[in-house]
Structure 1
Amino acid sequence: MTGRTPERSETRLLVPALMFIALVVAAVASLGTPLITSVATTFHVSLDSAQWTLTVALLSGAVATPVLGRLGAGPHRRATILATLAVVVVGSALTVLPLPFAGLLIGRAAQGVGVGLTALMMGVARDHLPEERSTATIALISVVSIIGAGVGYPLTALLTEIGGVRTAYGFGLLVTAVAFLTAWRSLPAAPEGRSAHVSVPGALVLAGGLFLVLFLTGQRSLWSRHLAVAVILAVVAVLLLCVWTAFELRSTTPLIDVRAVRHPAVAGANLAMFVGGSGMYLLLTLITRYAQTPHGAGYGFGLTTFVAGLVLVPFSVLGFVAGKLTPRVRTRIADPVLLAGSAVIVGGGFVLFAAARSNLAELLVAMGVLGFGVGSFSAAMPGVILAVTPKSETSSAMSFNYVVRSVGYSLGSAIGGLVLATGTDAGHLFPNDHAYTTAALVGIAAMAVTALIATALARQRPPEINPTAATATATASMPGQDRSSQ
């Protein structure tokens, strides 16, 4: 008994460490959201320019995620995590120093890289925790990576009101430094026998394609003012992604194994993540924007940035509750069915927002329903993918899912902006109230499609999968995979 005590103690410390690191990188990457207006004022730039403090973090995170996922599948996972957190700490320092706006953007890009660590935290949990506990931990890691924005939003908004934008970014520097120390003290090395090679040409081609996709989804003005340029960039993005896919299919050491991604369970989960993610982020955007709209528009509540941030509290709290409950429910209900049910819950949040938003309490209820749906969806998603993924490929497989999520979020934000812009009368600053209803109907449709995808996935999934057989099958489908790692 005494000989096992240190191991139990180490496991006890590992779980909160993984959760804390995942929460920090998610919260820090989202710091740009509540600070856009303050950044524009402090650095004397336009709101469109200030928006890049959020966009650049999203772009760098999406580009870095698949590379970090592949590195995390190899023997140097611990070094990869520490090096990435060091980059985030340096980036956080750049956001605090009295540098020009370009320095702030570089710092935000470095902070965004940390988003790719979420999948690596899942890989650590799967390798070093008992199966039942690792499943619950992975589900919670997935959830905290979502609710991190809800935690960071009101706190950074309050710090901005008290001490300005530098104070808020200083908070980011503090928590990232603590996260680095936590990782250095708590995270174990990867199991022996792992191997991972990163193809630099493949990574660069994928980075270029993802950059263009996310850039185009976030630049609505480019489509309205320079349509020809936008179309050309879209064609280039498609070509780059096609070239990357062909390159990956021929590579013996792919950055992301496209063949494994084509597995019905993985493909269906990623498609559900893409469509569902766009809907989830759309509702989050609609509620926060509606809450901050001044009374002079004929609707809205004119909330300050800090108070509007508090609207996200129900989202975070109920999201975490759903994340805690989902692993228990998974013992009785299959993961794809949970995905479908979660999509229906988020759709219910859209219905509430479309039908009742005349007082703040109704917005809080809609935000709480959204949080519960997003939490359960996020907690169930890893189970669908990891059921057919070997342990050694956990980080890589989940990294691809997070890239899909990022693109879905960007699309949801773009759709929301487009619908609201269409519903804005000439000469008016704010959209008509009915534009929010139209956007909600779009969201309901997106969540209905997500539920149908998940339902189809549940029907195709075998009733019982032997973990050993699943691992062997998934490994066999991965060219260049070192079987000894299993």
Structure 2
Amino acid sequence: MAVKAGRTHYTVTYSVLVVAVGAYALLQSMVAPVLPTIQAHLHSSESATAWLMTSYLLAASVATPILGRVGDVVGKERMLVVTLLGLATGSLLAGLSHSIGMMIVARVVQGTGGAVLPLSFGIVRDEFPSAKVSGAVGVIASLTAAGGGLGLVLAGPIVSHLDYHWLFWFPMIATAAAAAATLVFVPASPVRGAGGVSRPGGLLLAAWLVTLLLAVSEGQSWGWDSAGVLGLLAATVVLVPLWILTELRAAHPLIDMRMMRAPAVWTVNLSALLFGVVMYTCTTFMPQLLQTRRSVAGYGFSADVTASGLYMLPLSAAAFAGNVLAGRIGGRLGYRGLLVAGSLLSVPPFVLLAVAHTESWQVCTAVTVAGTGLGLAFSAMAGLVIEAVPAGQTGVASGMNANIRTIGGAIGSGIGASLLAATVTTAHPLPADTGYTRLFWFLAGAAALATLAATLVPRSRRAPAPGAAVPDPVGALPDRGSGHADNSGTAPRAADL
């Protein structure tokens, strides 16, 4: 692909990135509340239908850091086009699917779209004026929480007035348009990472991610003490140190282990893991609680898919509000302060739900406060990672942070499913209300641990005050004061790194 002759204004680039990340965020959540509908239409079993989420999760966890690294090396805008085309292709296949097998394949292809986030963060860092980087990254990061909540809202009307295939047609149109716009408007990456991509590192990373996530995703259905789950966990224990050793010895590692062990990186990644537990588990099981018929189970809200989505609407609105709030108070608190504040805000809503979840106001209050906390925390984590790593590693570092959040979501969803399943009996096939109480206490505990992890983040860097420049940790970035970076497309010199 030829390097573009001029630099597109960063606001145009930003518009393209917002559409791309928004479409990906919607795909993450729109499928979950309508799984029973898809199961009925495809005449599938419940266990097979669950693979629509598991396969997507596995593919995203493998593709996100690998494609993020490839983007750092060959050009972020090139890989963004590839990733968006993958999302569009997966959505096309899902829209045409009339069997569960084909739908699972489509979801695997869609999962490669997880790389949209790290690639977008890297492009923002390359193209934006320094003073605007933190705000732009914060909005994009918050889209993952806000878009996830919005997907729960839109799923019901789409299925009711059209059919479930349109859950994929709409994102396909959006991602295809974003891919075309990226090709035309997004400039070639002016900052490249050195070296190539470690294939052994990539294969081992994929291997241990698959064994770990498959174990935690299927633990409830296979049995946590089953030979399959124990075997997968044992394989993970062997593969992780082998992967770390391979990466340490590689001339050009996929993941720089020295970077990963830096205090400013591993502490934020620990926070991401715990926030993944909170966010994904909440958005997975809250609609289930809302759709439970009170006349049958003795609890729940008897909501249909559309109504349960409306209950979750405050989550999306509050996530955006949290992002706006982050922009206003970030200069005083710093990224670390924002992360601590967001973590603290995430504890009370789940304590409230654990104590009482029988009234609409309780649910709406809880998801509003939780959404605000997520908006603050997601903005802070993205900014902290970008500040902590060299420009040429933005994609892989951001990808790994997003990936760790996904791992947290898988772990949280597995534990949540087990907590609910433990209360199911032959006489009462639905989970007991005590199962949800335990689930919410578990999420409150995870949020409390996220607060503790946030306090471990080093205090050395602060978010910029309004109009101030973001400190460049490596001094390698081109001058972005006018939004027109060097477009040579060549890798930075060693002296610049």
Please give the TM-score of this superposition, normalised by the length of structure 1. 0.91
CA deviation after TM superposition for structure 1 residue 178, in Å: 2.0
Contact 2:476/2:492 (<8 A) preserved: no
Task: Return the alpha-carbon distance in structure 2 between the equivalents of residues 421 and 482 of structure 1.
Answer: 56
Does residue 53 of structure 2 align to residue 50 of structure 1?
A: no
Contact 1:92/1:170 (<8 A) preserved: yes
CA deviation after TM superposition for structure 1 residue 256, in Å: 0.9
CA distance change for structure 1 residues 447 and 189 in 2, over 3 Å: closer, same or farther?
A: same
CA deviation after TM superposition for structure 1 residue 481, in Å: 8.8
| Greater length-normalized contact order (CA 8 Å, ≥ 6 residues apart) | 2
CA deviation after TM superposition for structure 1 residue 122, in Å: 0.5
SS of the aligned residue for 1:36 comes to helix
CA deviation after TM superposition for structure 1 residue 282, in Å: 2.8
Q: Aligned residue for 1:470?
A: 473
Aligned counterparts, 1:103-252, within 5 A: 103-191=102-190, 194-224=193-223, 227-252=226-251
Task: Return the alpha-carbon distance in structure 2 between the equivalents of residues 77 and 393 of structure 1.
Answer: 11
What is the aligned counterpart of 2:459 among 445, 458, 461?
A: 461
Does residue 354 of structure 2 align to residue 362 of structure 1?
A: no
Greater alpha carbon shift after TM alignment, 124-133 vs 428-437: 428-437
C-alpha RMSD of matched pairs (Å): 2.4
SS of the aligned residue for 1:393 comes to helix
CA distance change for structure 1 residues 96 and 472 in 2, over 3 Å: closer, same or farther?
A: same
CA deviation after TM superposition for structure 1 residue 220, in Å: 2.7
CA deviation after TM superposition for structure 1 residue 303, in Å: 0.8
Does residue 483 of structure 2 align to residue 483 of structure 1?
A: no
Task: Return the alpha-carbon distance in structure 1 between the equivalents of residues 363 and 220 of structure 2.
Answer: 29
Cα offsets for 1:324-371 (capped at 9, x unmatched): 221331110122222122111110110221233222222111111111
Task: Return the alpha-carbon distance in structure 2 between the equivalents of residues 105 and 262 of structure 1.
Answer: 36
> What letter corresponds to residue 414 of structure 1 in structure 2?
G
Task: Return the alpha-carbon distance in structure 2 between the equivalents of residues 443 and 98 of structure 1.
Answer: 35
Task: Return the alpha-carbon distance in structure 2 between the equivalents of residues 152 and 463 of structure 1.
Answer: 35
Unpaired stretches in structure 1, ≥5 consecutive residues: 1-5, 475-479
Does residue 74 of structure 2 align to residue 71 of structure 1?
A: no
Cα offsets for 1:182-231 (capped at 9, x unmatched): 22232110005644511222111111110111111111345527612211
> What letter corresponds to residue 461 of structure 1 in structure 2?
R
Cα offsets for 1:146-183 (capped at 9, x unmatched): 22222222223221122222232222322222222222
Please give the TM-score of this superposition, normalised by the length of structure 2. 0.90
Aligned counterparts, 1:219-298, within 5 A: 219-224=218-223, 227-295=226-294, 296-298=296-298
SS of the aligned residue for 2:388 comes to coil
CA deviation after TM superposition for structure 1 residue 100, in Å: 2.7
Q: Aligned residue for 1:328?
A: 328
Task: Return the alpha-carbon distance in structure 2 between the equivalents of residues 113 and 367 of structure 1.
Answer: 29
CA distance change for structure 1 residues 342 and 15 in 2, over 3 Å: closer, same or farther?
A: same
Q: Aligned residue for 2:484?
A: none
CA deviation after TM superposition for structure 1 residue 463, in Å: 6.3
CA deviation after TM superposition for structure 1 residue 110, in Å: 0.9
CA distance change for structure 1 residues 401 and 314 in 2, over 3 Å: closer, same or farther?
A: same
Contact 1:321/1:372 (<8 A) preserved: yes
Greater alpha carbon shift after TM alignment, 97-106 vs 300-309: 97-106
Task: Return the alpha-carbon distance in structure 1 between the equivalents of residues 231 and 193 of structure 2.
Answer: 41
Task: Return the alpha-carbon distance in structure 1 between the equivalents of residues 274 and 191 of structure 2.
Answer: 38
> What letter corresponds to residue 152 of structure 1 in structure 2?
G
Contact 1:60/1:109 (<8 A) preserved: yes
CA deviation after TM superposition for structure 1 residue 456, in Å: 2.7
Task: Return the alpha-carbon distance in structure 2 between the equivalents of residues 472 and 247 of structure 1.
Answer: 29
Contact 1:342/1:377 (<8 A) preserved: yes
Cα offsets for 1:219-265 (capped at 9, x unmatched): 13455276122111111122112111110011111111111010011
Task: Return the alpha-carbon distance in structure 2 between the equivalents of residues 417 and 227 of structure 1.
Answer: 16
Q: Aligned residue for 1:20?
A: 19
Task: Return the alpha-carbon distance in structure 1 between the equivalents of residues 92 and 476 of structure 2.
Answer: 45
Contact 1:387/1:470 (<8 A) preserved: yes
Task: Return the alpha-carbon distance in structure 2 between the equivalents of residues 138 and 464 of structure 1.
Answer: 15
Does residue 266 of structure 2 align to residue 302 of structure 1?
A: no
Task: Return the alpha-carbon distance in structure 1 between the equivalents of residues 368 and 449 of structure 2.
Answer: 22
Contact 1:157/1:168 (<8 A) preserved: no
Task: Return the alpha-carbon distance in structure 1 between the equivalents of residues 74 and 285 of structure 2.
Answer: 43
SS of the aligned residue for 2:223 comes to helix
Task: Return the alpha-carbon distance in structure 1 between the equivalents of residues 191 and 472 of structure 2.
Answer: 21
SS of the aligned residue for 2:214 comes to helix
Contact 1:29/1:58 (<8 A) preserved: no
Q: Aligned residue for 2:352?
A: 352
Task: Return the alpha-carbon distance in structure 1 between the equivalents of residues 380 and 408 of structure 2.
Answer: 18
Q: Aligned residue for 1:86?
A: 85
Greater alpha carbon shift after TM alignment, 266-275 vs 333-342: 333-342
Unpaired stretches in structure 2, ≥5 consecutive residues: 1-5, 464-468, 478-490
From the two aligned structures, give the one with the greater helix fraction.
1
How many correspondences in the alignment?
473
CA deviation after TM superposition for structure 1 residue 412, in Å: 1.2
Contact 2:24/2:171 (<8 A) preserved: no
SS of the aligned residue for 1:470 comes to coil
Contact 1:120/1:395 (<8 A) preserved: yes
Q: Aligned residue for 2:396?
A: 396
Task: Return the alpha-carbon distance in structure 2 between the equivalents of residues 77 and 93 of structure 1.
Answer: 24
> What letter corresponds to residue 373 of structure 2 in structure 1?
G
Identity %: 28
> What letter corresponds to residue 48 of structure 1 in structure 2?
S
CA distance change for structure 1 residues 323 and 125 in 2, over 3 Å: closer, same or farther?
A: same
Cα offsets for 1:268-324 (capped at 9, x unmatched): 111111123213333333432211111121110111112111222100011011112
Q: Aligned residue for 1:477?
A: none
Cα offsets for 1:12-69 (capped at 9, x unmatched): 2122221111111121233321231111111100122111112111111110001111
CA distance change for structure 1 residues 98 and 33 in 2, over 3 Å: closer, same or farther?
A: closer
Q: Aligned residue for 1:428?
A: 428
Contact 2:192/2:392 (<8 A) preserved: no
Contact 1:21/1:183 (<8 A) preserved: no
CA distance change for structure 1 residues 328 and 196 in 2, over 3 Å: closer, same or farther?
A: farther
Greater alpha carbon shift after TM alignment, 418-427 vs 66-75: 418-427
Task: Return the alpha-carbon distance in structure 2 between the equivalents of residues 473 and 182 of structure 1.
Answer: 28
Q: Aligned residue for 1:437?
A: 437
